Amino acid sequence: MSETPLASLSRRSFMTGSVSAAAAGPLMATSAKAAAPQPAASAEPRDLSAISLRINKQPYNLALDNRTSLLDALRDHVGLTGTKKGCDHGQCGACTVLVDGKRVLSCLSFAVMNKGHEITTVEGLASADGNLHPMQQAFIDNDAFQCGYCTPGQIMSAIGCINEGHAGSEGDIREYMSGNLCRCAAYPNIVAAIMQAQDETRKA
C-alpha cells in the first residue's frame, strides 16, 4: 500500500514544509510510486540526496539535505509529528523511535544513514482497526503522563526496553529507561505502565 503522505499533513508540518520547500526546492515527501530510489551519494555538500525510507511499513521517497536528522525528516518532511523534539542533543529521549526494532534517538541520526532500515514511530503502533498497542493502553490505564510531551518517546523506549529483556523488575526499568526524561516526573506511573504491558508487548 502506498499513499501520498501529503494528504495527511498537519497544519504545523505543512507550514514548515512550505517554508523550506520555497527556500530549497522539492523537500517534501513524494509518493512511493512517483520516483525510483536513486543513489544517496551527492557530489556537492548542498546537493539534496534521494533517500528511500520505510516508516511504519510504508515506503517514502524523499529528497533531503544531508544535514536533515531522522527526527526532522519524520516531523517536517513526512508529516509524522508524533515523534517529539525535546533537546535535539540526545539528552532527553523525546525523539525515540525504533529502527529495525531497536530504540534509537532520531535526533542524533542523519536521515540519509537510515536507508533500507525499518523505522517505527508512535503512529505505527496502533493496529489498522484503531486498537491501541498494549503499551499505549497501559500508559492510559496507569495515568503515566501529565503534559504528554515525552510520552511518545517513553512509549517507544519502553517497547524497546522490553524487547531487549531489560524490564524484568522495577529497578531494571528505572535503570534502562533512564534515557527518557519526564519533566512532570510521572516516573512511578510510567514504571507501573511498563510492568503492566510487559507480557502483551512481548506477544505484540
Partner 1 sequence: MRPFVYERPASVSAAAAIASRFAAEGVPPTEAAAQFIAGGTNLADYMRLGVAQPARLVDLNGLGDRALRQIEVGDDSIRFGALVRMGEAADTGEIKRRCPMLAESLKFAASGQIRNMASLAGNVLQRTRCEYFRETSWPCNKREPGSGCAAMEGFNRQHAVLGTSNACIATYHGDFAQALIALGATVEVEARRGMRKIAFSRLHRLPRDTPNVETELAPDEVITAIEVPLGAWSRRSRYVKIRDRESYAFALASAAVALDMDGDTVSQARIALGGVATVPWRARAAEEALSGKALDDEAAEAAAEAAFAEAKPREHNAFKIPLGKRTLVRALLETRDMKV
Query: What would the grid cell of residue 113 be?
Result: 544513514
| 92, 149 Cβ separation under 8 angstroms | no
Residue from the set 7, 36, 46, 203 that interacts with partner 1 by CB under 8 A: 46
- Rounded to whole angstroms, the Cα distance separating 180 from 117 reads 23
Angle at which helices 151-163 and 134-141 pack, to 10 degrees? Answer: 120
**Does residue number 86 form part of the binding site for partner 1 (CB under 8 A)?**
no
**Does residue number 54 form part of the binding site for partner 1 (CB under 8 A)?**
no
- Rounded to whole angstroms, the Cα distance separating 201 from 204 reads 5
Q: Of 104 and 138, which has the nearer Cβ to partner 1?
A: 104
- Rounded to whole angstroms, the Cα distance separating 116 from 59 reads 10
Mark residues 184-203: x for contact with partner 1 by CB under 8 A, - for none: --------------------
**Min separation Cβ 179 and partner 1, Å:** 2
**Min separation Cβ 171 and partner 1, Å:** 10
85-100 burial, b for 16+ CB within 10 Å, e for fewer?
bbeeeeebbbbbbbbe
Q: Of 9 and 55, which has the nearer Cβ to partner 1?
A: 55
- Rounded to whole angstroms, the Cα distance separating 122 from 49 reads 26
**Min separation Cβ 155 and partner 1, Å:** 13
CB-side neighbour CA atoms (13 Å) of 31: 7
**Min separation Cβ 113 and partner 1, Å:** 6
Return the residues of window 127-186 that contact partner 1 according to CB under 8 A: 157, 160-161, 164-166, 174-180
Q: Where on the chain is the footprint of partner 1 (CB under 8 A)? A: 40-47, 49, 65-67, 69, 88-90, 93, 96, 102-105, 107-110, 112-113, 157, 160-161, 164-166, 174-180
